[in-house]
Amino acid sequence: KNEANSFSVQIEKINDQIKKCNLVNPIKGTVLTKYAEPNEVTTFGKPLYKIANLEEMNLRVYISETQLSSIKIGQQVKVKIDDFEQTKEYIGNIIWISSQAEFTPKIIQTKEERANLVYAVKIRVKNDGSLKIGMPAEIWIK
């Protein structure tokens, strides 16, 4: 009887160890980058992959100092992206406005625009699957 109890305790320990080996994501999302491969031994605390929830996207846009007074947090804006056949339109909400001006990033198209100071703005948009990370977009302030 003692031997049976000993085996059942060992079985419980093994089952607990197996349970701890299962990966459970805290969010539903898409894997963006893998840092480890299946069956690879890793160290404690090392990330295995980078995951993002792409159902809602945060777009970072830049506005000029003259446009700054016409926006506020919570305001709705139109977001437009160019699809192959047409321009797609989304409704987004401003969720963050930078308090500090910065020089226009190099990704802005014209030399004149790059010389100006701008403010970064984050806009949250529901994604139907067409929006991708790094994709250019235009916003229309209502």
Say if pTM beats, i.e. exceeds, 0.85: no
Query: What's the pLDDT at 113?
Result: 59
Residue 99: CB partners within 8 Å, gap ≥ 6?
none
Output the pLDDT for position 135. 87
Rounded distance, CA 121 to CA 94, Å?
7
Show pLDDT as tens, one digit a residue, over the chain (142 residues): 678 888 899 999 999 998 888 888 888 888 999 999 988 988 988 999 999 999 999 999 988 888 889 999 999 999 998 777 778 899 999 999 999 988 766 665 555 555 578 899 999 999 998 898 888 888 998 7
How far apart are alpha carbons 105 and 30 in whole angstroms? 28
Measured CA to CA, the distance from residue 55 to residue 59 in angstroms comes to 13
For residues 137 and 91, what is the distance between their CA atoms, to the nearest angstrom?
12
Residue spans of the domains in the chain: they are 2-51, 55-141
Give the per-residue SS3 of the chain: CHHHHHHHHHHHHHHHHHHHCCCCCCCCCEEEEECCCCCCCCCCCCCCEEEECCCEEEEEEEEEHHHHCCCCCCCEEEEEEECCCCEEEEEEEEEEECCCCEECCCCCCCHHHHCCEEEEEEEEEECCCCCCCCCCCEEEEC
CA dihedral 132, 133, 135, 141 (to 10 degrees): 90
At the top level of CATH, which class does the domain 55-141 belong to? Answer: mainly beta
Please tell me the predicted confidence (pLDDT) of residue 115.
Answer: 53
Q: What is the pLDDT of residue 105?
A: 67
pLDDT of residue 71: 96
